[in-house]
Amino acid sequence: MIGYSRTDIEGAEFRKNAEKAVKKAHPKADPAEVKEFISRCYYLSGKYDSAEDYAKLKKTAEQLEKKYSTGGSLIFHIATPPEAYENILKGIAAAGLGNEGKTGGFKRIVIEKPFGRNLSESLKLNSVIDGSFSEKQIY
């Protein structure tokens, strides 16, 4: 798991927060499995509209693919305010992070609701998504 946000925190703090969340949601989880999961959590701080930061994200994803043999599969869970969606989706697409086929892995985009604040915004976001991702990639 790669956390990506504008918030500038260290990876250790991200892992600590992730561990707390996992333990709260799953208090009976096997401690060894939780530890293994947390050891695979990484964090990058970046801007939502920075091509350079998405290039760093792509490089990190490629390094972790080699380390963990993920087959190139990626799931982007976007849980930000709706006004950030357009920049995020364009950044992911421009960096080639949503491209399927080359690595053999799947790429998915999960977008939290609300999807825009009104019909006009929703239609605009829909056109951004349709121009960058196939229907089977979008959740």
List, for residues 10-20, the tens digit of each pLDDT value. Answer: 999 999 999 99
**pTM of this structure:** 0.86
Q: Is the pLDDT of residue 104 over 90?
A: no
Answer for the pair 76, 112: CB distance below 8 angstroms, yes or no.
no
Cα separation of 72 and 49, whole Å? 24
**Residue 138, φ and ψ in degrees, nearest 5:** -105, 130
Domain count, the chain: 1
Residue 66 belongs to a domain: no
Phi/psi at 95 (5° precision): -80, -5
Q: Is the pLDDT of residue 83 over 80?
A: yes
Residue of 5, 103, 92 lying closest to 51 (CA atoms): 92
Residue 37 lies in a domain: no
CATH of the domain at 81: 3.40.50.720
Q: What is the pLDDT of residues 60-80, one digit of tens each?
A: 999 999 999 988 899 999 989
pLDDT category at 102 given cuts 50, 70, 90 is: low
Is there a domain that residue 97 lies in?
Answer: yes
- Amino acid present at 119: L
What mean pLDDT, rounded, does the chain reach? Answer: 91
Domain that holds residue 99: 71-139
Residue 64 lies in a domain: no
